[in-house]
Amino acid sequence: MNKTSISASISVKDADIANVVLMPGDPLRAKHVAERYLENPVCFNTVRNMLGYTGTYKGKKISVMGSGMGIPSMGIYATELYTQFDVDAIIRIGSAGALSDRIKIRDVVIAMAASTDSNYGNAFGLHGYFAPAADYGMLSHAVEASKKLSINAVVGTVYTSDHFYNPCSGINECLRNLGHLAVEMETAGLYWTAAACHKKALSILTISDHIFTGEALSAEDRQESFREMMELAMETAWQSIE
């Protein structure tokens, strides 16, 4: 929605922000998504080069905007989109490292919930531990779309870490033993923020490497795998718009 905002991070111009926003970490990836998957995309934000675009997909308005890396950056942009621009739902799209033996390179993971080592959730004042989880309606749309598109999507718990280079030895083995599918850096923050703002969120991730086997996608394979994730995210976003 195009409206006056106190945001220092988002300055809407030339286009509205749709009710559903796709959020890759990289703003240049947001530009690529807009140019490849949206019809008539218009850039609405260039503040700090965190590019945001709005266009249409199969007749429905959808936006895409970068989130930056890590929970604090995701938290800033998600909070402002939810509270200042009337966004109803955010879908994180990004890469993750596989932990589970049953997850393969190029698989798509739909994050049902996220464990984390971050203290971000403490600020919400719950006495105990607040378990960040996806919106079930959006998750079910994603599962349905994956079947229609014949995409190998696995639903389960991921681990959101504040550390790209984790100094804790043995952490990956512990996570695998507790059933985590993959590790990444933003999902828990998005799910916490959505819950606090009474909005919807979902994280759809492409497996770009495997923590234990050492396998990793080439640049060409990453692009093809990204295509599958984007088709799934677009269909999920489309179904989530009433």
Q: How far is CA 2 from CA 5, 35, 68, 123, in A?
A: 9, 21, 22, 29
pLDDT score recorded for residue 4:
52
SS3 helix, strand, coil % of the chain, rounded to 5? Answer: 35, 25, 40
Averaged pLDDT for residues 64-93: 97
pLDDT score recorded for residue 220:
75
Averaged pLDDT for residues 102-126: 94
Q: What pLDDT, in 10s, does the model give residues 128-137?
A: 888 999 999 9
Model confidence band, residue 238 (pLDDT cutoffs 50, 70, 90): very high
pLDDT score recorded for residue 218:
83
Model confidence band, residue 5 (pLDDT cutoffs 50, 70, 90): low
Averaged pLDDT for residues 164-169: 90
Catalytic (active site) residue 117: no
Amino acid found at 10: I
pLDDT score recorded for residue 222:
73
Model confidence band, residue 223 (pLDDT cutoffs 50, 70, 90): low
Q: What pLDDT, in 10s, does the model give residues 27-71?
A: 999 999 999 999 999 999 999 999 999 999 999 999 999 999 999
pLDDT score recorded for residue 2:
43
Question: How many Å from the N-terminal Cα to the C-terminal Cα in the chain?
Answer: 16
Q: What pLDDT, in 10s, does the model give residues 191-217?
A: 999 999 999 999 999 999 999 999 998
pLDDT score recorded for residue 7:
75
The yes-or-no verdict on residue 117 having pLDDT over 90 is yes
d(CA 63, CA 65): 7
Q: Which of 16, 107, 209, 221 is catalytic?
A: 209
The yes-or-no verdict on residue 103 having pLDDT over 90 is yes
The yes-or-no verdict on residue 77 having pLDDT over 90 is yes
- For every residue of 66-102, DSSP letters joined together read ---SSHHHHHHHHHHHHHHS---EEEEEEEEEE-STT
Q: 192: which residues sit within 8 A by CB, 6+ positions away? A: 75, 120, 121, 124, 130, 132
Averaged pLDDT for residues 7-35: 91
- Length of the chain in terms of residues written: 242
pTM: 0.94
Q: 205: which residues sit within 8 A by CB, 6+ positions away? A: 92, 93, 94, 95, 96, 108, 109, 110, 111, 158, 182, 184, 187, 229
Cα angle 198, 199, 205 (rounded to 5 degrees) comes to 135
The yes-or-no verdict on residue 230 having pLDDT over 80 is yes
d(CA 96, CA 159): 10
* Residue tagged 């464990």 (tokens): 115
